[in-house]
Amino acid sequence: MPDAAPLLREVFGFDAFRPGQEEIVGAVTAGENVLAIMPTGGGKSLCFQLPALMRGGVTVVISPLIALMRDQVRALQEAGVAAGALTSGNTAEETDAVWEALERGDLKLLYMAPERLAAGSALGMLRRIGVSLIAVDEAHCVSQWGHDFRPDYLRIGELRRDLGVPLAAFTATADAETQDEIVVKLFDGAEPRRFLRGFDRPNIHLAFAAKDSPRRQILDFAGARKGRSGIVYCGTRNKTEVLAQALREDGHSACHYHGGMEAEDRRVVEARFAREDGLIVVATVAFGMGIDKPDIRWVAHADLPKSIEAYYQEIGRAGRDGAPAETLTLFGPDDIRLRRSQIDEGLAPPDRRAADHARLNALLGLAEALDCRRKSLLGYFGEEAGNCGHCDLCDTPPETFDGTTPVRMALSAILRTGEWFGAGHLIDILTGTETDKIRARQHDRLPTFAVGRDRTRPQWQAIFRQMMGRDLVRPDPERHGALRMTEAAKPILRGEAGIELRRDTIRKATRRPAVKAMVSDEDAPLLSALKAKRRALAEAARVPAYVIFPDRTLIEMAETRPATLDAMAGIAGVGAKKLDRYGATFLEVITGEARAAHPVQRRLAGRGRAGIYDQLLEVQAELARGQGGIDKPLSCSAAQLAKVAELTPGDRPGLERVLGDRRAERFGDAFLDVLGAAD
């Protein structure tokens, strides 16, 4: 087997390995199954490219992005390595050249997209060419609940079994849960040799700021770094276009990028960014994974990322050359509301939604940190670190204050309302805001009502945000986002512990969100749950969501919270057919109880008589064997009960005409009591 050092120098031009590379190269070369977690810019590709040259046979590299594969193949070919890629981006001549090299046995590295594994011919081809190693780049894409999930990554484990060869998986983004998922899906649960080479990128300066004229904040940040390549991530497609235009008007070279653009337009932006110095790309997260540009000097987030993993991966695109790079992440209450609703409206099961909320909480904790951000970030990934001296909080320690009293007020309000409400309603209680819901629930009589009126509503939102970031409270997905206390909060509530809060983010929280929300904070989680159900039904039926119910109908459901089919029938947009088809389903979302409604009952609901039908059913069940419970069973048909509920006969002769003598004798008096109470 060739010695690694000469190949490292002669082929790749390096005199020495980067920290951690040599041990990984040795394990991969020896044919061990490997899972390597390495920071972006840490030299992952060399850890499978160099072993490929030291082993016999062909190394198959499975990578998610065509542009990245093509770049790596070109670089290897320039270095004299026989490498090729089979991708949809190939010309016919390029594909022919790859096949010819495979047939001759010349190729050492073959790059493939995971989607190609779906072709029936792929396995036969790979068996024939003598594969000796599978390398998987961006292995976190196998995680079904990750933000970069690629379904065809699930085929890689089967490929490893069929070929009977070792597998080396690499990624820069995998917490402990994702690592375990990789082991299960790529290695069938058999423990590979794990290498955790750290998540620290000491050359990257970390900074967060609460939103305060966010467009101006981004323009100022970019202006201080004029002429340097950067990326601005935005939460919406429209925002990328608007902000790119603002940057151009401010004298920058800038363009936008999002998934709604034509493929050719996206390729033009990618090509410009690769070759132009000083270009700023304003993009959604559609732009990023696989970017191999080493001299990106800064990354800014105009909106809060989806999770701490997404944040880490996105800032990791800066400073891949090891030179200093800077980041800025803006956040505000609208961001948090959006991210919460995206989680709640998703189709993931409850345990996964809870995990996503926990990941978002971790990111909020980083945003609201009291000391070194790098220490908080690395702590999330299980690494201990001291203060880095290279983040905004190390540069300028934040002003703090004793937040024990307001936090205890908030926790008391949560406890006294049974942990059934979100931050919006709790803030109404604390500030003494007499809403209809406050009065209906008699929450204006609570001891905590108006105890926090000395603070504004936005300031209380900032306090609740810090409480979530410190994991004192968590939204409960089973209660449509109602806040529940964690164990960490109980010592503070009991007066056994205190807590420091950041004063600056509270002092700056003086403005309400610029965009009016569709519903109140209190009703927003339920609206998200209703939208999630609508989305699932729409996808199953392959129709647009509004065909099930328009937004205004779901908004009215969230605000009025109907508890019966009769009440549901009164919602605008719920006609008889939709009530019959969807009424019970949406009631279950609102009430949390499954309700199987008879078709007759659903029809009556449109006329306001379903409640009477329910009561008649209950009475019939009680008297099915007579008053003493020993008579021969007797019951009415659904049609007969419906006629009773609908016609409301007021005397026994009327009942006898509908039910007949025997049934009227057994049920008549009780049915008349029900009808009399309803009219």
**Digit-coded pLDDT (tens) for 226-243:** 888 999 999 889 999 999
Determine how β-strand 482-485 pairs with β-strand 473-476: antiparallel
The average pLDDT across 326-351 equals: 80
> So where are the chain's domains?
4-196, 200-330, 400-507, 524-605, 610-678
CATH topology of domain 610-678: DNA polymerase; domain 1 (1.10.150)
**Is there a common fold for 524-605 and 610-678?**
yes
Structure tokens at 388: 């880095």
- Contact (Cβ atoms closer than 8 angstroms) between residue 345 and residue 531: yes
Task: Return the sign of the alpha-carbon dihedral for residues 347, 351, 354, 358.
Answer: negative
The structural architecture, per CATH, of the domain 400-507 is Orthogonal Bundle (1.10)
List, for residues 587-617, the tens digit of each pLDDT value.
888 887 654 445 555 555 555 566 677 677 7
Higher pLDDT, 489 or 668: 489
Helices (H), 317-456: 333-345, 350-367, 373-380, 392-395, 404-416, 423-431, 436-440
Task: Return the pLDDT at 148.
Answer: 66
Task: Return the pLDDT at 650.
Answer: 64
The average pLDDT across 336-365 equals: 77
Indicate if the pLDDT at residue 42 is higher than 80. no
Residues 6+ apart with CB under 8 A from 423: 460, 461, 464, 483, 521
Indicate if the pLDDT at residue 535 is higher than 60. yes
The residue length of the chain stands at 679
3-state secondary structure of 524: helix
Q: What is the CATH number of domain 524-605?
A: 1.10.150.80
Choose among 62, 26, 52: nearest CA to 108: 52
Global pTM?
Answer: 0.62
Q: Quickly state the pLDDT bin for 393 (edges 50, 70, 90).
A: very high
Task: Return the sign of the alpha-carbon dihedral for residues 416, 419, 423, 428.
Answer: negative
The average pLDDT across 67-72 equals: 79
Q: Quickly state the pLDDT bin for 510 (edges 50, 70, 90).
A: very low
Helices (H), 447-523: 457-469, 490-493, 503-507
* Domain spanning 200-330: CATH superfamily: P-loop containing nucleotide triphosphate hydrolases (3.40.50.300)
3-state secondary structure of 130: coil
Rounded Cα–Cα distance for residues 617 and 619 (Å): 6
Percent of the chain with pLDDT over 70: 90
List, for residues 307-326, the tens digit of each pLDDT value.
888 898 899 889 877 788 99
Higher pLDDT, 220 or 511: 220
Indicate if the pLDDT at residue 94 is higher than 60. yes
3-state secondary structure of 325: strand
The average pLDDT across 375-402 equals: 88
Indicate if the pLDDT at residue 144 is higher than 90. no
List phi, psi (to 5°) of 558: -65, -35
Task: Return the pLDDT at 146.
Answer: 60
Rounded Cα–Cα distance for residues 307 and 339 (Å): 9
The average pLDDT across 629-645 equals: 77
Rounded Cα–Cα distance for residues 432 and 436 (Å): 12
Indicate if the pLDDT at residue 289 is higher than 60. no
3-state secondary structure of 285: coil
3-state secondary structure of 204: strand
CB crowding 600-635: b at 16 or more within 10 Å, else e:
bbbbbbbeebbbbbbbbbebbeebbeeeeeeeeeee
Task: Return the pLDDT at 599.
Answer: 57
Higher pLDDT, 310 or 475: 310
Indicate if the pLDDT at residue 475 is higher than 70. yes
Task: Return the pLDDT at 460.
Answer: 92
- Contact (Cβ atoms closer than 8 angstroms) between residue 472 and residue 486: yes
The average pLDDT across 562-572 equals: 85
Task: Return the pLDDT at 172.
Answer: 80
Distance of CA 123 to the CA centre of its chain: 34
Is domain 4-196 in CATH 3.40.50.300, yes or no?
yes
3-state secondary structure of 381: coil
Indicate if the pLDDT at residue 55 is higher than 80. yes
Which of 140-144, 404-408, 638-642, 646-650 has the weakest average pLDDT? 646-650
Considering only CA atoms, give the Rg of the chain.
31
Note every long-range contact of 315-318, with CB atoms under 8 Å and residues 24 or more positions apart, other chains counting.
315/201, 315/204, 315/206, 316/39, 316/40, 316/41, 316/172, 316/173, 316/201, 316/204, 317/40, 317/231, 317/288, 317/291, 317/293, 318/204, 318/230, 318/231
Task: Return the pLDDT at 192.
Answer: 94
Distance of CA 504 to the CA centre of its chain: 28
Helices (H), 518-575: 524-541, 545-548, 551-560, 565-569
Q: Quickly state the pLDDT bin for 512 (edges 50, 70, 90).
A: very low
Determine how β-strand 280-283 pairs with β-strand 400-402: unpaired
The average pLDDT across 617-630 equals: 73
List, for residues 169-207, the tens digit of each pLDDT value.
998 877 777 888 899 999 988 899 999 877 788 899 999
Mean pLDDT of the chain: 83
